[in-house]
A and B are shown apart, each in its own frame.
Chain A
Amino acid sequence: MLTLNLHDYKGLFTAYTELRVQENRSVNITFVKGNNTLNLRSSTGGISARVCRNGSWGFASHPGISEENVKTVIRAATDNALFLDSKEQKEKDPLPAVPASSENDFSTSRPRLSQKDLVEFIRELDDHIASSYPQLAGRTLSLRCLDMEKRLLTSDGSYSHSMIPRSFIYIQLSVIKNGSPVELFDVYGGLGQFEDQFSAPGDLFEEVARQYHHLIKKSEGVFADAGLKTCVLDADLAGILAHEAIGHTVEADIVMSGSVAGDKIGREVASPLITMIDFANSYQGETCPVPVYVDDEGTAAKDAVLIKEGVLKSFLHNKESANHYRVAPAGNARAYAYSDEPLIRMRNTVILPGTSTLEAMIASVDDGYYLIRPGNGQADSTSEFMFGIVLGYEIKKGKIGRAIKDTTISGVAFDVLKTVSMVSGEMSWMSGGMCGKKQPIPVGMGGPAIKCQLNVGGR
């Protein structure tokens, strides 16, 4: 579908312009208790243009990819920018240009599976779960694949083509305990098309067995005791702490509206054990879950060091905010759909590993919680963040105790990070969710296990 040569239309640019052709292709297959309730393939694509005149922006998009529609969206975006400029007359400085060129295609080189193959894969996994765990009251398996393919041309000299796929299998298992449902959800998969992520249903059996074991423990679980508690966050949770607690707080658009991070550059905001980086595309030579090489404003993507040994170093920028703060943008402007404008977004936000072991961290807690799997999360302008916990255990006298029911934890980001007393040496990535901010966007997050103080919701 991405057949137009965008360079042919550069002559139509009359101001700062981004011209993007994009297609999002998705597969969604769902089985609810053995019933194939959803069997969907979809594709959403088109052309968009965004134009800036003296600080006022215009945007237009059209689903039909044709020469005529390219002209239409450039004209409409330009007219929109002119309309606002005529009213607002902001006379802002030109945007910084960081020209870049890249070609990154993560399409699989293996033979593609048909829809029938994919349905069979999920059905086989579902059959295994149904026969292995007859005590389950409910089970939902959902395969979701998303290929995002983009071509971008900007008036300041950038051109890029990317095809970034992701493939996940989401599994929710539930049992009835004392007449009431108890469920546990987990997600498997990551960067790449289905064939590069999954080879056989049997590869997931061990993971599912672990999920079921935790579910049974959870069904016998207790409410957490509400209040400020010492918690060991599993490595699978550190990423969401990085994302919700700090990542959103240092997005420059949030900072400009008054985030508490605004005046803290160069100041100590966390324990010296904490170093946090928003990686552009690779970490220690490995590709990150959501690699960005050139962002949707055409900026070459670089790693952004947010906190180094406890000291706040930088914010996340698009071209406009980078201009405001007189720094170079690092490629954090990203759009979800062809009809979306780029926003300041995280990419692969991590807390770097330390030197402790998870075992030693748990053993060091007299009365607290070991929290393993997150649910959804949210950050606030005050830097107070929260995220749901769908799997956790008590720690009593240095040993794992009873499982706890679903709960939510919260804290004030910089206060919590100052309480970090141990950081493990491992590193775990998560990328199954979407970050929401006007548009959804895939993000990666990761980190080690962390010991800190948090507010725990409970009874």
Chain B
Amino acid sequence: MDNLREIARDGLNELLKAGAGKAACSLTLIDKQELNVDLGEPSLLRTIFDASVNLVAIKDQKKGSTAVNRTDRSALRQAAADVLAIATAAAPDEAHDIAEAQPPAEFSSGGSRPDLDKMYSRMKELLREVGARYPRVVIRQAILDFTRTKKYFLNSNGVDFVTSKGIYRCLVFFCSREGERISSFNITGFSLKDLEQELLDCGSLDTLLRQSTEQITTHPLQGKFTGEVIITPDCLEDLIGFLTGAISDGPFISGTSIYRDKLNRQVAAPLFSLHSRPLDNEICDGYFVTADGYAARNSTIVEKGVLKSFLLSLYGSRKTGRPRAANDGGAYVVDPGETDFSDMVRSVEKGILLARFSGGEPSENGDFAGVAKNSYLIEGGEIKYPLSESMISGNFAELLMNITAVSRERINFGNAILPWISASGVTVSGK
């Protein structure tokens, strides 16, 4: 371990020796065991050793960076020389900088090695249980991995962080079939600190598998209407992704973010509060250090509908004169509401339960259009039937303002904790 710290230290020293005014070096070692299931059978076991060395040099306010996956000294020396040449080629920018000094720290989470037999037995148990409970489900692919990372981050201001993390991650990709009829595929995933729990009981997997079986028989929507949409926790990442993307570096530097003047102003209904909590005890797949080399902190992005912080990096912050974010985003937690999911459905006169959105990237102004996959028609307060060939369109920014309910129930995916959210004003169209 000390040897690795020395390698990272060597990388930093090589950058300074090569002429960098400011420099940063991060060295990450990755050790992954991955069990793959294809078409319902364990098919492949993978062992991945990998490394990543990221070098950053700033000279005369010109910045260059390089990433290599070799950790031997000659490779680092060459990479350091290369990155200085890259920096020399860059356009100067006063906003380039590295993280200021912070107290050295070591962070750790999760286990240190996988239990391969347990991984195999949990996966076999999942396949058995799915076969028994949902015989028409086809597990097209399931991946259960354990990834151990060790990361050293050092910079020339004295930042010296070490992070160790071990995490299990599971991804399941499935559809259902009966004779010639087949459902849309669906996919879900979750992160786990250990394998104490049955995989079928984790995240939203059981619910989605049950729904998949129902979705063998679908009905296309006739005509179009504007109504309510209940967004499932699996699908909520799309809405959150639009918001967090719009408050990040790119749209702020280009000046096109629709939220550029919205700090401390209402951007969502008061029912909606969004946090980024990489250090939360309930988030097993968080992180400790930002990409810029700051110790990450939990933050609130939206509180009761009011935008409380942007997601700007050090560069984005210096470029725009706005505060740097407390973290890199992710690990999103949406506060629970006071409405039971069943009551949420009962309150919908006409709308859809949106479980997966398959559409083009939303416009910078929030306009979106796409296919409502694995979704259901709601009429008269009841979930009627699964839909096919039905499209939805609207505007994500307006949707946030039009939130009418947030569920009491939430799903913990290990890397996010999310509820069901109901909002009005979505156009749903069929044939």
Q: Are A455 and B431 in contact (CB-based, < 8 A)? A: yes
CA distance A114 to B85 in the complex (A): 9
Chain B residues with Cβ below 8 Å from A40 are: 64-67, 86
Question: Number of B interface residues, CB 8 Å?
Answer: 80
Answer whether residue B197 sits at the interface, using C-beta atoms and an 8 A cutoff: no
CA distance A339 to B52 in the complex (A): 13
Answer whether residue A457 sits at the interface, using C-beta atoms and an 8 A cutoff: yes
Q: Give B248-266 as 1s and 0s: 1 = Cβ < 8 Å from A's Cβ atoms.
A: 0111011110100000000
Which partner residue on chain A sits nearest B374 by CB separation? Answer: A380
Chain A residues with Cβ below 8 Å from B44 are: 56-59, 84, 341
Chain B residues with Cβ below 8 Å from A382 are: 182-184, 388
Which partner residue on chain A sits nearest B52 by CB separation? Answer: A44
Contacting residue for B175 out of A223, A378, A381, A410, CB 8 A: A381
Answer whether residue B391 sits at the interface, using C-beta atoms and an 8 A cutoff: yes
Q: Are B256 and A258 in contact (CB-based, < 8 A)? A: no
CA distance A217 to B196 in the complex (A): 58
Contacting residue for B254 out of A83, A137, A224, A456, CB 8 A: A137
Q: Are B360 and A407 in contact (CB-based, < 8 A)? A: yes
Chain B stretch 45-87: residues in CB contact (< 8 A) with chain A: 45-52, 63-72, 82-83, 85-87
Answer whether residue B101 sits at the interface, using C-beta atoms and an 8 A cutoff: no
Chain B residues with Cβ below 8 Å from A61 are: 46-50
Answer whether residue A257 sits at the interface, using C-beta atoms and an 8 A cutoff: yes
Chain A residues with Cβ below 8 Å from B274 are: none
Q: Are B371 and A44 in contact (CB-based, < 8 A)? A: no
CA distance A226 to B389 in the complex (A): 12
Which partner residue on chain A sits nearest B369 by CB separation? Answer: A457
Question: Number of A interface residues, CB 8 Å?
Answer: 91
Q: Name the segment of B88-96, B300-308, B376-384 touching the other chain.
A: B88-96
Chain B residues with Cβ below 8 Å from A254 are: 140
Answer whether residue B194 sits at the interface, using C-beta atoms and an 8 A cutoff: no
Chain B residues with Cβ below 8 Å from A438 are: 141, 143
Contacting residue for B51 out of A38, A63, A405, A407, CB 8 A: A63
Chain A residues with Cβ below 8 Å from B255 are: 33, 137-138
Q: List 25 A-B contacts (CB under 8 A).
A: A37-B253, A38-B65, A40-B65, A60-B46, A60-B47, A80-B46, A81-B45, A87-B120, A115-B85, A123-B91, A137-B256, A181-B363, A226-B391, A226-B427, A257-B175, A380-B185, A387-B360, A388-B359, A388-B370, A405-B367, A406-B369, A408-B369, A410-B391, A457-B429, A459-B393
A interface, CB within 8 angstroms of B: 31-33, 35-46, 56-64, 76-77, 80-81, 83-84, 87-88, 90, 114-120, 123, 137-140, 174, 176, 180-183, 223-224, 226-228, 253-254, 256-260, 263, 339, 341, 375-376, 378, 380-382, 384, 386-390, 405-408, 410-412, 438, 455-459
Across the A-B interface, the 6 shortest Cβ-Cβ residue pairs: A388-B360, A457-B369, A138-B254, A116-B89, A226-B429, A42-B67
In the complex, besides A46-B50, A80-B45, A224-B369, 20 extra interface pairs with C-beta distance below 8 angstroms are A35-B319, A36-B91, A43-B68, A43-B69, A84-B45, A115-B64, A115-B89, A120-B89, A123-B91, A138-B251, A227-B429, A380-B185, A381-B185, A386-B358, A406-B363, A408-B360, A408-B391, A408-B393, A457-B370, A457-B429
